[in-house]
Amino acid sequence: MLGDKYFELDMSYWGRSRRLVIQILCIWALVAYGLPALVLETNKMNYLGFPLGYYNCAQVIPLFFGALLLIFNHVQEGIEADQMDGKPMVEAASSAALNAVLMKVYVAYTGGFVSFVLFLGFLEAVGVPDQAIGILFVIFTLGMYAAIGIASRTSKSDDFYVAGRNVPPIFNGMATAADWMSGASFVGMAGTLYALGYDGLAYITGWTGGYVLVSTVIAPYLRRFGSFTVPEFIASRYQGTVQLPGGKVVEMSGFARFLATIVLLSCSFTYLTAQVFSTGVIVSRFIGIQFEVAVFSGLIGVLFCSLLGGMRAVTYTQVAQYVILIIAYTVPAICMSTTQDDGFNKNNPVEFLVYGGTLQAIALREKEMVLLGLASKVTPYLEPKWRRVDFFALTFCLMVGTASLPHVLMRYFTTPSVRSARRSVTWSLGFILVLYMTAPAYAAFAKLEVYTNVIGQPLSVLPQWVFTYGKIGLTSVCGKAVTSVNEAVEACAQATGGDYLLRLKDLKISKDAMVIATPEIAGLPYTIAGLVSAGGLAASLSTADGLLLAISNALSHDIYFRLIDDKASIQKRLLISRVLLVVIALMAAGTAASKPADILSMVAWAFSLAASGNFPALVLGIWWRRANAQGAIAGIICGWGLTLTYLLGTVYGGWELWGGISNVAAAVFGLPVGFAANIIVSLLTSPPPDNVLAMVDSLRDFKVTGEDLTAEELEDIKEKEEALARTQVLQVSNTAEATAEATAELTI
């Protein structure tokens, strides 16, 4: 029978797949931690002008992760081909046709956007004011995203939640990259590298290395399960009952779903606030409105996409946003790259090969500033300042957090098949690498420009960008956000600006301003600066789209539909989801308007919360059959709870750092506690029920793809899945009351 085949555990297939994953992860860990451990030794060697230790973390390790995923996909598909007696797996014809159509549409869209940028360059050349060009950039991009949202509107639940599960891998990869490369990456990454130097490379290593975990450990299995949300998978995987002291038996899957939703809300809302914050920074700079007003204005484009078309509209908007953000990020870097003549490169447009000489020039200028009295001490840009344990802790938390973020994982629910999900992860990392390999060059070019053409200059000749960004509080001179030379002279307590040379400690530039300010720092045309603003807006809005959708879907599907009203119609559920989108967006805007922290810190907190709350439950749920509901609940409460407590205590409670570990790596404490609690409690309580074990076995089994099944077989599978869904709904009916009782009992 098909049912036996559908749920049968193939040990041969699973055994080979498991060994492959173990081998890949061993190589991944060796490279991710081995090369950075040798940075002091390898920095003494040079490659194309680069200190090798720096270059390894900035370029070699991320590229190696991409190559590792290509190898993994090739070998895994070979294992699957053996299960089909060598018959190749062919994607559905509908997916191939959609891929061809989308390719034509987005090629035309890219050409149109490039033409628009050239037209604005022409307007600048004929004297159109800079602010008008900035406004045109912002209006065009927001209008384009809103138009895609309107064109992609839908009332179908599968389109709204998972884009119909037919997004081709390459376009899902672009959408995931846009979803991923948030304001933290676009606006904050180069700024962090500018400020931290080598230590900032922990973010690049961590965020790229996390995709190896996504592809090998989690994403294919979630796609095989076929859920709408991460909490839905956790609820289905962690079914089971517990008897309360009064004798009442309570189903635990509802409580597991509730906790998973709380984790999703905590990490996603923190992340969302960071995106809205970066949107406010960009809109306030290029339209010239107050930051608090800009924060709310930037939500218009987000809500158009999310409200009308859900995941379908968000997916195709994010592809368009990726095109804009990657052009906007690379063009200024290429322009600056072609001006370099460092003895190794001359007029070379490949920016990630060029900035080795720039790094050497930075090192020389650091020594020169000390000799000239412009700085009492300069922390070397190329050398690690953090302890190695701090670098490794942050890298680890970012890697695991990447594999745990709900809004990233839900992107792989939209692909046509499991194989497409794996390929989509590889495409995602490939598109992400384009930006991440450019960020170190961006930071280096900006650093040298500031060190050479700003530090050591009289106050009277400070460049205009210092005052422009001072108006919105992103730059300061002598401790004050100044808007004119006179204010700078007054801030530095000097009688004249011509006699006082600006020292290194006198100038402060916000990390969040670095990318959008760099075109002006480098003296590039204002059209390039406007292009960067459009790219930053695309990066922030694309991630905000995905986060809003993840939050509203979890509340409407996992809380309202599954726990409150399991008879709600699709129309009612979609209406509730859309109302929640607006409410959550307004809450995030209100929070961002208070300027709670820098963008990258807020994002790092989200990664730690996701890692400690989701990763143990997801990994053990897939890879350990013995994990049960009680263990998952204990793991989430202990791991996520400890991480949240450490974050709140160190950020707002005045706590000392534990072992000197920064709160951006808070999951280093919560994650092992979460794993330990899950495992210990699972072993001390009864095993999962048989239907859950069968589900785990089916996740590990090789399944032929839909096009290889007959209509009758597909109908049989559909009936089984609907029956399983009905069983889950019955098991969690009246769970709101039961969950409250279970919570009270666990608290006692």
As a whole number of angstroms, the longest Cα–Cα distance in the chain is 91
Q: What is the dihedral of CA 340, 341, 342, 344, to 10 degrees?
A: 100
Distance CA 174, CA 179 (A): 8
Domain spans, the chain: 1-453+518-618+725-747, 457-502
pLDDT of residue 541: 77
pLDDT of residue 184: 65
Q: Is 146 helix (H, G, I), strand (E, B) or coil?
A: helix
Residues 6+ apart with CB under 8 A from 747: none
pLDDT of residue 568: 75
Cβ-defined contacts of 575-581 (< 8 Å, 24+) = 577/160, 577/310, 577/552, 577/553, 578/306, 578/307, 578/552, 580/551, 580/552, 580/555, 580/556, 581/303, 581/306, 581/307, 581/548, 581/549, 581/552
Distance CA 511, CA 206 (A): 19
> What ranges make up the beta strands (E) of 210-260?
241-243, 249-251
Instruction: Confirm or reject CATH 1.20.1730 for domain 1-453+518-618+725-747, answering yes or no.
Output: yes
| Ranges of the chain whose pLDDT falls below 70 | 1-11, 85-95, 153-155, 157, 160-161, 183-184, 285-286, 288, 298-310, 342-345, 494-498, 595-602, 703-748
Q: Is 507 helix (H, G, I), strand (E, B) or coil?
A: strand
DSSP state of 183: H
Measured in whole angstroms, the distance separating CA 578 from the mean position of its chain's CA atoms is: 23
Q: Is 341 helix (H, G, I), strand (E, B) or coil?
A: strand
DSSP state of 472: T
Q: Which two tokens stand for residue 303?
A: 């809500």
- CB-CB contact of 288 with 140 (8 Å): no
- CB-CB contact of 223 with 413 (8 Å): yes
Let me know the angle formed at the C-alpha of 265 by 602 and 154, rounded to the nearest 5 degrees: 110
Of 173, 200, 39, give the one whose Cα is nearest residue 662.
200
- CB-CB contact of 487 with 163 (8 Å): no
**What residues does 242 pair with on adjacent strands?**
250
State the pTM of this model: 0.84
Residues 6+ apart with CB under 8 A from 501: 374, 456, 457, 458
- Burial pattern 164-193, b for ≥16 Cβ within 10 A else e, equals bbbbbbbbbbbbbbbbbbbbbbbbbbbbbb
- Which residue has tokens 């009442």? 248
pLDDT of residue 404: 92
Distance CA 184, CA 211 (A): 17
Q: What DSSP letter does each residue of 107-137 carry, written as one string?
A: HHHHHHHHHHHHHHHHHHHTT--HHHHHHHH
pLDDT of residue 705: 41
- CB-CB contact of 211 with 65 (8 Å): yes
Q: At what angle do helices 439-453 and 201-213 cross, to 10 degrees?
A: 170
